[in-house]
Amino acid sequence: MSTVHPTYFSISLIHELPDRIRFRMLILRDRSCDVAYIEAYIEAIDGVKEVRINREASSIAVSYDGRPEVKERVIERLSFFSMAIPGYKLISPEEREKKGTFNIIKAGIVLLVSPMLPRRIRAMVTLVSISPLLFRGFRTLITEGIKIDVLSATAVSLSFLRRNYFAANVTYLLTEIGEYIEHTTQRQSDRLIRSLLRPDMGMAWVERDRIEIQIPSGDIKVGDIVISGAGNIIPVDGEIIDGVALVNQASITGESIPLKKEIGDYVLSGTVIEEGRIKISADFVGDETTTARITRFVEHSLMRKSKTERRADEMGNRSVYITLGLAAIVFALTGDLNRVASVLFVDYACSTKLAPSVAFKSTMHKAASSGILVKGGEAIENLAKADIFIFDKTGTITLGIPELTDCIALKEGWESATLLALAASMEEHYLHPIGEAIVRSARKMFLPFPEHSEVDLILAHGLSTHINGRRVLLGSRHFMEEHENISFSEYDDIIQRLDEQGKTVLFMAIDKEPLGMIALRDQLREECAVALKRLKDYGVRSVVMVSGDSRERTMAIASGLPVDEVYYELMPEDKSDIVRKFRNKGKKVAFVGDGINDAPAIISADVGICMTRGADIARETADVVLNVDSLNAVADATEFAQKTMRLINTNFNISVGVNTAVFLAASSGILSPVASAVLHNGTTVVILLNAMGGISL
């Protein structure tokens, strides 16, 4: 393979075996490149066994299971690093932290010892001590222009040139301490985000041909029976077909209390079995599991910068020139180098540029710990501003799981239980959501299913079978009346009542005569009204419900809910048109949905939110994905976002206010360079720590 990207940040394949590949990455020579993060990032790929990096040789060796798709995934991720900032500077390298610690200790010792030294030796010792900052400032000036390091180096240099060695040593020490705390704070916030990248699941036990064998989790296929016991990380998404277990889902949903899971329950990859042993029928494996989706979501999140962050970067860069210009004015007016040095320590850029990024990452981690995945700072920013929330009905406002509500026998000699048993015995052959609800209800009542002939499916209409020589039909009214000439008109009052209650009605007939009706209704989420009211309390102006369902069923669900507008009988494109209509009016729109038909609207909205059982395309296009199956998570996400933006604004105001006050005091000669450095660095540290831990529910 030839070089992937013909730049300094290129990668090239230098050696390959069936289960091992080695690349050369010149970027690894850059000491600002975080090799620990790269290792963790590549090891998170399902199928990768080990990653080893040799910085001096600029090489990275990857051991994997030999699958071509794993190799392609490795190359894709390495290419991402090669195109990004070195090591995608999510965290400060350990080498930089060690160097910062050394500089602080060295500066502290010099500060204590230098007053006891002769003046000439004191000057030499001070120059050696502050030289890292001077070199850093000079290198920055040559390679990047006038940046923060240039101001700090200039300020310390002025104190040194004026032979105020105490001030030079103190301000250098304060500068190093401030920078160390800044990097440590940023590293901590980045470590939180990095923790969301899920590790490889390792080996797993599966049952094949009634024999239990251990295989790499990457070799599990859809339909395999996976066996997991106490202490195991579940490697797939699937349904439990045998056993009982207590499952800790904290890593995915944020729930701290383990839940009992048994036959028929669904479990997610990345969750941990604390007690018990279960067999799982694998529905989603490898890159399709919940864990893999979270990893991809985090990857995308890290590549996005919000308007706030971009604006903060611009303001921070401009502020350096402002500080330099003000220092020049002070010198022109007073000629006092001491005042100039004090002014040069007034730096708006540090807290202005770093605080929003730290706050966003901290919020993303805290939200993820509550089962809410947020795709970067821009999603937080847009969610905080959203004043219109549009909810799809089915699977969002409702559970999307129909429940049987009525079973009405219309023929003399038939009871509702007998009718339900017959319907369930027909539906169990062609399961769909409505059929599953009928079968589930009959089994809960332990009803015996009657024997009948083979069940025939009349596509898009209904089912047909024979029992004791009599033909039984189950399906829609249209099927009964238009295709089978069986009239239910004498029961219109009952049908109308069921329709007004928002129920779906199935009709049954026997030997060309009405036999009964079965009604089902999608269940409203218990927390729905409370969650919508919370959004209103947070300042959301309007809550809108949309649905492709009929007017009767949609309005029946909407009644009693704090919704302002209701749209029904919509096509998927109609939902996105409604989103665009509100946006064209200048509204900030959040759309909450879960189905394939919701994807156009999710894309069209300022911020798209996908429910936990959402379709793949809805999850991929959403800005926020919920791993908690509750509408309260939508309200929680909104609260997180609004608190984050308030915190960022508060930090910005504090930064500007305090630094402006320090500048005025410094330019008037009230503050010495040492005092100016103390106040500036102290303010920056307080703001960053506040950004790191200021958000909670």
Q: Which DSSP category does 347 fall into?
A: -
Which of these, 357, 306, 369, lies nearest to 89 by C-alpha position?
Answer: 357
Q: What are phi and psi of 596, to 5 degrees?
A: -60, -40
Q: What is the pLDDT of residue 254?
A: 46
Is pLDDT above 70 for 37?
no
- Mean pLDDT in the chain? 79
Is pLDDT above 80 for 283?
yes
Is pLDDT above 90 for 255?
no
The CATH number of whichever domain residue 78 belongs to comes to: 3.30.70.100
Residues facing 16 on adjacent strands: 21
Q: What is the pLDDT of residue 54?
A: 81
Q: How many domains does the chain have?
A: 3
643 falls within a domain = no
Active site residues: 392
User: Which of 56-65, 72-81, 156-165, 206-215 bottoms out in mean pLDDT, i.e. has the lowest?
Assistant: 72-81
CA distance 441 to 147: 70
Who wins on pLDDT, 119 or 253?
A: 119
Query: Can you say how many angstroms the Cα of residue 311 is from the centroid of all Cα atoms in its chain?
Result: 23
Which of these, 305, 360, 321, 291, lies nearest to 151 by C-alpha position?
Answer: 321
Residues 190-225: pLDDT tens digits?
Answer: 555 555 555 555 688 898 888 888 888 778 888 899
Q: What is the pLDDT of residue 509?
A: 93
Q: What is the pLDDT of residue 456?
A: 82
The CATH number of whichever domain residue 246 belongs to comes to: 2.70.150.10
In 228-260, which positions are buried (b, 16+ CB within 10 angstroms) versus exposed (e)? beeebbbbbbbebeebebebbbebbbbbeebee
Give the strand order in the sheet containing 504-510.
398-409, 513-524, 504-510, 470-475, 462-467, 456-458
Q: Is 383 helix (H, G, I), strand (E, B) or coil?
A: helix
Tokens of 424: 């369930």
Q: Which of 73, 89, 105 is the last residue of a domain?
A: 89
Residue 273: left (phi > 0), alpha (psi -120 to 50), or beta? beta
Averaged pLDDT, 361-384: 84
Which are the contacts of 665, defined by CB distance < 8 A and separation ≥ 6? 671, 676
Who wins on pLDDT, 584 or 655?
A: 584
Tokens of 696: 């909670």
Residues facing 53 on adjacent strands: 60
246 falls within a domain = yes
β-strands 504-510, 470-475 pairing: antiparallel
Check: CB of residue 522 under 8 Å from CB of residue 555: no
CA distance 392 to 471: 40
Who wins on pLDDT, 28 or 122?
A: 122
List the domain range (segments joined by +) for residue 257: 221-284
Q: Which of 237, 255, 284 is the last residue of a domain?
A: 284
**Residue with tokens 């900032």, as numbered in its chain:** 85
Tokens of 13: 């394949």
Which are the contacts of 492, defined by CB distance < 8 A and separation ≥ 6? none
597 falls within a domain = no
278 falls within a domain = yes
First-residue to last-residue Cα distance in the chain: 51
79 falls within a domain = yes
Q: Which of 230, 253, 284 is the last residue of a domain?
A: 284
pTM for the full predicted model = 0.63
User: Which of 22-31, 205-214, 668-677 bottoms out in mean pLDDT, i.e. has the lowest?
Assistant: 22-31
675 falls within a domain = no
161 falls within a domain = no
CA distance 61 to 309: 35
pLDDT classification of 287: cutoffs 50, 70, 90: low
Q: What is the pLDDT of residue 262?
A: 87
Is pLDDT above 90 for 291?
no
Is pLDDT above 60 for 5?
no
The CATH number of whichever domain residue 408 belongs to comes to: 3.40.1110.10
Q: Which DSSP category does 610 fall into?
A: E
Residues 673-682: pLDDT tens digits?
Answer: 778 777 877 7
**Residue with tokens 């069940």, as numbered in its chain:** 455
476 falls within a domain = yes
Tally of CA atoms within 13 A in the half-sphere of 467 that contains its CB: 19
Tokens of 529: 């009204």
